[in-house]
Amino acid sequence: MEQKYWYRLLTHFYDKNYFANGLTLPYIIGSKVITEPNNQVQTIKEFFEEVKNENVYLSVLKCCGIGELVFSLSNKSDFEIYGGFENIVDIDGLFDNFKNINDFSNYLQEKYGDIISQEKFSRNHFGKWERFTADIDLSRLSEL
């Protein structure tokens, strides 16, 4: 079975040390524009439903470097250590009040929905969201 675009992305970027803590949700979802240009970008809800259906653990934490939530692949062992809900590992304990992926995706839709709909997927060094940088983002995404 073919791996999902987000799984390939997170695995490749981790293996190449392209991130310290993970990738933002807009970056993950927006990467599909580059990696699978003939397919539509997923909604946040569709993304998390797919993650859940694939039985993949994702960790979430707030990255101090960019001040945003970032996601990376995780595992059951991390879930047992840090806790979370369903297959989301809550590293920082920021989401203790969430009980399921549906509530979590609704929260993230509030937080990132407009950014994604404006096709601003990458947070630059000035704290602004933009599409993708040609020199770094597009170069790295083209490796997939």
Which tens digit of pLDDT belongs to each residue from 104-130?
999 999 999 999 999 999 998 788 999
Question: From the centroid of its chain, how far is CA 18?
Answer: 14
Tell me how long the chain is. 144
For residues 121 and 23, what is the distance between their CA atoms, to the nearest angstrom? 10
Number of domains in the chain: 1
Note down the domain range covering 67: 5-141
Residue 120 three-state SS:
coil
Residue 109 three-state SS:
helix
pTM over 0.85: yes
Query: pLDDT digit of tens for each residue in the chain (144 aa)?
Result: 579 999 999 999 999 999 989 999 999 999 999 999 999 999 999 999 999 999 899 999 999 888 999 999 999 999 999 999 999 999 999 999 998 999 999 999 999 999 999 999 999 878 899 999 888 999 999 999
